[in-house]
Amino acid sequence: MDYVYQVEIYHLQRLLGRFITGNNFPEKDLSEFIRLIEGKDQQIKVYKGTNEKRILLVENGTTKIFSTHYELEPYDDYNRTEIV
């Protein structure tokens, strides 16, 4: 199953950037992405979006998705995925 991931890149404990993948992002692509951005003095933290929650809006009898929220949990298995 594919998930939403948040990747944070730190250098000397200072946040350099935060990237959030789209929905249904394959785990093997996450491993490749992290391999490409890893640097010598960088620390990378990865979080996996779980427990999707949606806020719905009803307008004129039509239900629309107003926003989607994920609970983020630390994820350390990203570097164990084999890239084919």
Residue range 3-31, pLDDT digits in tens: 889 999 999 889 999 988 887 788 888 88
Amino acid, res. 51: N
Q: Are 10 and 42 in contact (CB under 8 A)?
A: yes
Which of 11-15, 60-64, 67-71, 76-80 comes out lowest in average pLDDT? 76-80
Into how many domains does the chain fold? 1
pLDDT at residue 56 in the model:
94
pTM value?
Answer: 0.72
- CA–CA gap between residue 31 and residue 49 (Å, rounded): 16
Amino acid, res. 47: Y
pLDDT at residue 6 in the model:
92
Q: What length is written for the chain?
A: 84
3-state class (DSSP) for residue 30? helix
pLDDT at residue 26 in the model:
82
Dihedral (Cα; 73, 74, 80, 83), 10-degree rounding? 60
Domain that holds residue 25: 4-80
